Amino acid sequence: MAAVVRIPQSSVLRRLLFLSNTKHIRLISTSKKNSETATVVEPLKEKVKTEAVAEKKNWVSYGFDFENQESDRNALHSTLFFSVTCCLVFGGFILSYLPDFQNRDWAQREAFLELRRRESEGLPLIDRNLLDPDSISLPSDEELGETEVII
């Protein structure tokens, strides 16, 4: 409730609501007071020297060349170009279009052909006894003894 009482006292609100009743407020000065400003005149050579010293003073090397800033940046940009563009982009492109050395596509085609053959002959898609159980020799319970068998 106290905030509602304070609203008419706000100077910003007064300016917005009662701007037409008050005198106009100028926010930008348009007078020309160029002669009243103070300027400092420095010789051009000293300014160039101080900028060169400040530039060299604030330079942090990227680790390629500790003496020359230009060769350091050139080495950085060339290293990044060759590592990112040539190795990652072109290397990924080449790896994606290499031939299938592990025959993954061949194995998938053979699996589809075998499934189609089994469906046409009326056999189950996956045989429960892939190997003949009579051809497998398992150890007896006496030979296993206390060995844990995990199925």
**For residue 29, is pLDDT > 80?**
no
> What is the per-residue pLDDT across 96-128, written as a single tens digit (0 to 9) for each?
898 888 887 888 999 999 999 999 999 999 888
Please, which residues have CB within 8 angstroms of residue 7's CB and are 6 or more apart in sequence? 13
**For residue 87, is pLDDT > 80?**
yes
Continuous segment of H or E residues that includes residue 48? helix 44-57
**For residue 11, is pLDDT > 60?**
no
> What is the per-residue pLDDT across 47-86, written as a single tens digit (0 to 9) for each?
555 555 555 678 889 999 988 999 999 999 999 999 988 8
> What is the per-residue pLDDT across 17-27, written as a single tens digit (0 to 9) for each?
555 555 556 56
Q: How far is CA 95 from the centre of its chain?
A: 22
Here the tokens at position 36 are 């009243």
What single DSSP character describes residue 97?
T
